Structure 1
């Protein structure tokens, strides 16, 4: 889980600035006291206000469910768009810092804030190949997803790079794993039992020569039915490259969409950092 100082340092944009709740120490009563409210357990998630994730008919569809917490936000989303937050200190000193992102809806509404948790020595030694955890917080300041990447040198060293997608408090959704290919970038998306459920195929080029703008297809194995795509393009609106995840099938579950988002982050670190 995200530590307190990690939450404190998280750079939210104007849509995601939510007041931090003060920590209250448990009270010990010395005499009979009337309790007027029931304490909330730390394991109970605060419901997500529906008004903060209203989905306009401008994108051509209406919501089929009421999003209350975490992954529910993704149920009817046709796409999400990942924007990186650049820090002045890193640009001036060239010292790698923990990355931060904002994940938006097609209407540019902020859905999640994502912050990396990694060690400074790993960022200095291994660069974009470093191990890390990426925490995605919803608009109630609670974790919706945790992405975990361990250190691996790559297929040339018999260590395929992969990323795990977790749902708090500790449920594994699946993994995105690098597969061997001479000319193209290919990956598999596996469920919690390590069964391949989707494949990812990138441009026909050597991985180290990946263009700044790229297109990746996500499809089912065998029949190769297209289920989504990941693009990295220059966005004039924000004057930076953005990673866009499109869901081609409206029947995709929120958990599957979370795996596609995990794939987008793995591609971001492997090819574009």
Structure 2
């Protein structure tokens, strides 16, 4: 189109269609990679007799528990509520675990504190509750032995983890909802993990057969020295009763609090 002194030439566009306006769009810098959402484990079908939300456990024989690092603990040494991500061996998130506790209990009772742990599935629904009452840490007194109750759904006990008295070995009994012993857990003479994993063996009631393991994994010298954020691996038989799997899952947290929660101050 011809122009005069008061007009602006319009350049022709393909098919005589002007380009679409680009309002509000931010240019993407070269090499930008958008953040990825965590990969969630698909929800399997729930078999009969399985508590709601525990159908995940029917499909796996291993779990990885990663405690999140809290900057307030690293910088200030101020104990905060623990948080954990639970994944399968493919790296898919299975559960999210958050501690409910008050400030005085955390600061003054330390790793021997009572706690409530809320276990949520990937939809944010609470599927398990882990309860630990306060007991003193005098291992020489049989009346002060530690205990954990596992509820699924919350309010319905399905299993217990009870510490057994022993003069020098960490030992526990995993019980069903009727408080009948099903499995034993036996730890090493020294639970100090100096540059190596620490294994707690899951055994039959007569302690003649090894059926699984709870492993406190070595996470490196810096993380071990300056934080109490620990990683655990849990291995159990695929065909084990899902309620006992849940009890073994709870045993991992009791072991963490009893032997590794305050480990940065013990090295």
The answer to whether 1:262 aligns with 2:245 is: no
**What secondary structure sits across from 1:266 in the alignment?**
helix
Matched residue count: 211
Partner of 2:175: 190
* Residue in structure 2 matched with residue 48 of structure 1 by the alignment: none
Q: Distance in 2 between matches of 1:169 and 1:202?
A: 29
Structure 1 position 235, deviation (Å): 4.7
Q: 1:117 aligns with which of 100, 110, 113?
A: 100
**What TM-score comes out, normalization by structure 1 length?**
0.71
Whether 1:216 aligns to 2:200 is yes
Q: 2:148·2:250 contact (CA, 8 Å) conserved in 1?
A: yes
Among 32, 51, 74, the alignment partner of 2:57 is 74
Following superposition, the deviation at residue 196 of structure 1 comes to 1.1
Give the conservation status (yes or no) of the 8 Å contact 2:118–2:130.
yes
TM-score (norm 2): 0.73
Q: Tell me, in whole angstroms, the C-alpha distance in 2 between the residues paired with 1:121 and 1:204.
A: 32
2:132 corresponds in structure 1 to 149
What's the RMSD between the two structures over aligned residues? 2.2
In the TM superposition, 1:113-262 aligns within 5 A as: 113-154=96-137, 155-157=139-141, 158-205=143-190, 210-211=192-193, 213-222=197-206, 224-235=208-219, 241-247=230-236, 249-262=237-250
Shift of 1:189: 0.8
**Deviations 1:34-63, CA, capped at 9 Å, x for gaps:** xxxxxxxxxxxxxxxxxx4249xxxxxxxx
Decide whether the 8 Å contact of 2:140 with 2:167 is kept in 1.
no
Q: Where do 5+ consecutive residues of structure 2 fail to align?
A: 1-35, 224-228, 262-267
Secondary structure in structure 2 of the residue aligned to 1:218: strand
**Distance in structure 1 (CA, Å) of the matches to 2:75 and 2:207:** 49
Query: Greater CA radius of gyration, 1 or 2?
Result: 2
Give me the whole-angstrom Cα distance separating, in 2, the residues matched to 1:235 and 1:108.
17
Given that residues 53 and 67 in structure 1 are in contact (C-alpha distance below 8 angstroms), is that contact kept between their aligned partners in structure 2? no
Note the residue ranges of structure 1 that are not aligned, 5 or more in a row.
Answer: 1-12, 17-51, 56-64
Structure-2 change in CA distance of 1:84 and 1:14 (3 Å)? farther
CA offset digits 1:146-167 (Å, max 9, x no partner): 0000100133342111111001
Is the contact made by 1:136 and 1:144 (CA closer than 8 Å) also made in structure 2? yes
- Whether the 8 Å contact between 2:159 and 2:244 is mirrored in structure 1 is no
